[in-house]
Structure 1
Amino acid sequence: MENFNEIAKQYEPMIHKIILTLGIYKNREEFFQTGLIALWQASERYDQERGAFPSFAYSYIKGYLQTEMTKRNKYEEHYVSVDDDSWELIPDLSCQLPLQWENLNYEELTNKEKKWLMYTVIYGLTIKEIATIEKVSQSAVKLWRSEARKRLRNR
């Protein structure tokens, strides 16, 4: 292939068109850079016997950008960035939790049921996480939960 700078200049409109086609409106410059990376990879992987480079580059760049969009969407679904001003809006409940925990009369629970209650209420862990920490099966933790709930309801 020719010099990559020449290829990049030649295919720059194609990258912009793909970005427009995919409806990318946030972080366009980042996606353009990602498109350049995809173009470079396409130029490295291109085989002349498989067809024309423009169609290969188009499909390669489009697929690469779609994969990148999927990754970013999954990341944004799972993680939320909070600015400093938003932290001030969240009430601080840390001082209230120990008092509520102390007021909870749970003497009738077994040690395992107390562990489930503590892990669930204070640390917000899932059954799978508790099972991993305690090195027991998930069904054992579910049994602890079931028995603890029965005893607390009866009280």
Structure 2
Amino acid sequence: MSIQNEQKLSPTQSFEEILECVQPMITVILKQLHIYKEFDYYRHIASIAVWRAWLKADPAKGQFSAYIYSSIKGEILNELSKEKSYKERITVVDDETLDYVRSEFKGGENQKNSIDLESILTQLKQIERKILLLYYVEGYNDQEIAKVLGLSVAASKKRRARIFQRLSNQVFEVE
């Protein structure tokens, strides 16, 4: 952002004026953080950060433009962190995969069991879902699963057996 724009920024200005002045700053921050997808979404997050900074600004505590910059960057980093955490916890399971896993565990196909199985699968850790998908859907053996996930073969077998036992118990509890 240019010095000229920094001098224009003041908490006494209207929010619209400030938001207009910081658009180049927002673009620079998005590029620094290598955000090229969902650009509009993160630009919106940045605008909210500007709004909050404008509301909380205290001229006695330092330069307003620096406060806006750190607010924008902080909000975007928080959002990226939340998204990463969400992606680590969630594995999307499509209907075809659910049907296959259901047939492996039960052999039955009714709507109630499908919903129950889906809710049970979402309770598994990501690594547990990966093991199930690799074994039952992709057809990997225990050695291949161990290699892909960085586990020993014994650990891979043990985990798969525990997951199968847990799922079997939960599926039969639902009935």
TM-score by length of 2: 0.52
Q: Distance in 2 between matches of 1:8 and 1:90?
A: 47
- 1:28 — aligned with what? 39
Aligned pair 1:97/2:105, yes or no? yes
Percent same amino acid at aligned positions? 27
Query: Measured at CA, do residues 47 and 24 of structure 1 come closer, stay the same or move farther in structure 2, by a change above 3 Å?
Result: same
Q: Quote the residue 1:79 is aligned against.
A: 90
Residue 44 of structure 1: CA displacement?
A: 0.9
Shift of 1:118: 9.0
Identify the residue that residue 152 of structure 1 maps to in structure 2. Answer: none
SS of the residue 1:23 aligns to: coil
Query: What is the number of residues matched between the two proteins?
Result: 106
Seen in structure 2, the aligned counterparts of structure 1 residues 118 and 60 have a Cα distance that, compared at 3 Å, is closer
Counterpart of 1:110? none
Decide whether aligned partners of structure 1 residues 36 and 119 sit closer, same or farther in structure 2, where only a CA change above 3 A counts: same
Could you list the per-position Cα deviations for residues 91-140 of structure 1 after superposition, in whole angstroms to 9, with x for gaps in the alignment? 524344347xxxxxxxxxxxxxxxx9996141569xxxxxxxxxxxxxxx
1:7 aligns with 18
Task: State how far apart, in whole Å, the 2-side matches of 1:64 and 1:117 are.
Answer: 38
For the pair 1:122 / 2:133, whether they are aligned, the reply is no
Ranges in structure 2 where 5+ consecutive residues have no aligned partner:
1-11, 108-161
CA shift for structure 1 position 51: 1.2
The aligned counterpart of 1:43 is 54
Structure 1, residues 71-110: CA drift from partner, whole Å, max 9, x if none?
011011111345xxx53366524344347xxxxxxxxxxx
2:155 match = none
Deviation of residue 5 (structure 1)? 1.1
For residues 42 and 122 of structure 1, the distance between their equivalents in structure 2, rounded to whole angstroms, comes to 52
1:47 counterpart letter in structure 2: D
Please say which structure displays the higher CA radius of gyration. 1
